[in-house]
A and B are shown apart, each in its own frame.
Chain A
Amino acid sequence: MDKSEIDKIKVGDKIPPYKVKIKKEIYKKYNRLINEINPLHFNKNYAQKLGFEDIVVAGNFTFSYIPKWLINWSGDISSIKKISVKFKNPIYLNEEIIHKGTITKIENKNNSKIIYGIYVVEKNNGKKVTSGDFKIVFPMK
């Protein structure tokens, strides 16, 4: 994002939505990579005994797409200062999720433009699975 685009950001602006499908094969590889030990994330019977429909995708993995999405929007990894995340409902394998964000507050301080926003991650049926907020700082020198 160049300076003229940053100048135009205003409260209420939407961050372009970002859709992701959590593919089973990819998630299995991720579990192997991180040596996942919680059976909730790889054992369907265990997950169902706990009352879930299927294997629950770990929050660590679904979180991965949030910084990626925000960096794609801001264009600068160093601009991302804070992200909070609340895992509200389970995401299951092969489900599609969509990230939606809104700018809620802007401050101009110390030659920087500080952008605050909120986001939700929803399933295709509109069910919210994750939410949180973020802080992005653009130097304006």
Chain B
Amino acid sequence: MNPDENKMNGDEYSKLTKFTSIINEIITNMGMVDVVPNEKEIKKFLTYIDDNNLLYNDKDYAIQAGFSDKLVPLEYIMNLTCPVTQEIFIKGGPELLPGIIKGVIHVGSILEFIKPIVVNHSYKIKIKVDNPVKKTGSKGNYYSVVFKLYILNENEKICAIDNHEFFFKLD
């Protein structure tokens, strides 16, 4: 992190350095996160958004289409990655929130879909985080931080990437 690039004062720099240090330590300790897309939960989700695509709902149809099982809908993938970022902030405890940052809001994502993800198979989520970047808006200064969440299959090939962006304010 470079204080000049981000045009921040010493106090801000100190808090951001602490923020980065805590987040990096949590991510290191979490390592790769195991995830198994749960067929029953996905079935419920599909009823909520009224999606009856057979690739998600009919195993035989999915297999005939060349997949090994029912597909996890693209619209469900963020539901696999969000709990991971949520866990990071929970693990940060009160020292992180509200200690260093006031609050945090998910402002957007860039999702890349590379290989199919199927239900009831094991995947791992690898986490990387960029350094926070200072931004200025109508409501004052805030910071953007992007978590890169890579969903890997059993062969450690990337199936999807969620570049998950949060804004936060310093306490």
Determine the distance from Cα of A63 to Cα of B45 in the docked complex, in whole angstroms.
Answer: 13
Determine the distance from Cα of A35 to Cα of B41 in the docked complex, in whole angstroms.
Answer: 12
Determine the distance from Cα of A77 to Cα of B49 in the docked complex, in whole angstroms.
Answer: 16
Interface SS majority for chain A: helix
B51:A29 contact, CB within 8 angstroms: no
Check A80/B74 contact, CB under 8 A, given A33-B45, A132-B108.
yes
Number of A residues with CB within 8 Å of any CB on chain B? 27
A66:B75 contact, CB within 8 angstroms: yes
Which residues 64-82 of A sit at the B interface, judged by CB distance below 8 A? 64-68, 71, 77-78, 80-82
A68:B112 contact, CB within 8 angstroms: no
What A residues does B153 contact at CB under 8 A?
none
What B residues does A30 contact at CB under 8 A?
45, 48
What A residues does B75 contact at CB under 8 A?
63-68
A78:B44 contact, CB within 8 angstroms: no
A78:B116 contact, CB within 8 angstroms: yes
Determine the distance from Cα of A85 to Cα of B53 in the docked complex, in whole angstroms.
Answer: 23
B53:A64 contact, CB within 8 angstroms: no
Determine the distance from Cα of A83 to Cα of B114 in the docked complex, in whole angstroms.
Answer: 12
The answer to whether the Cβ of B155 comes within 8 Å of any Cβ in the partner chain is no
Determine the distance from Cα of A30 to Cα of B111 in the docked complex, in whole angstroms.
Answer: 21
- Chain A's nearest CB lies how many Å from the CB of B3? 28
B45:A77 contact, CB within 8 angstroms: no
With both beta carbons as reference points, the residue of chain B lying nearest to A56 in the complex is identified as B105
Determine the distance from Cα of A34 to Cα of B51 in the docked complex, in whole angstroms.
Answer: 18
A85:B108 contact, CB within 8 angstroms: yes
Determine the distance from Cα of A36 to Cα of B22 in the docked complex, in whole angstroms.
Answer: 24
Determine the distance from Cα of A29 to Cα of B50 in the docked complex, in whole angstroms.
Answer: 13
> Please, what's the 1-or-0 string for A90-124, where 1 marks a CB less than 8 Å from any CB in chain B?
00000000000000000000000000000000000
Question: Which residue of B74, B108, B116 is within 8 Å of A84 (Cβ)?
Answer: B108
Check A26/B111 contact, CB under 8 A, given A68-B73, A71-B53.
no
- Chain B's nearest CB lies how many Å from the CB of A55? 15
What B residues does A67 contact at CB under 8 A?
73-75
- Chain B's nearest CB lies how many Å from the CB of A130? 9
- Chain A's nearest CB lies how many Å from the CB of B74? 4
A71:B74 contact, CB within 8 angstroms: yes
Which residues 22-53 of B sit at the A interface, judged by CB distance below 8 A? 41, 44-45, 48-49, 51, 53
Which residues of B come within 8 Å of A, CB atoms?
41, 44-45, 48-49, 51, 53, 55, 71, 73-76, 78-79, 82-83, 86, 90, 106-114, 116
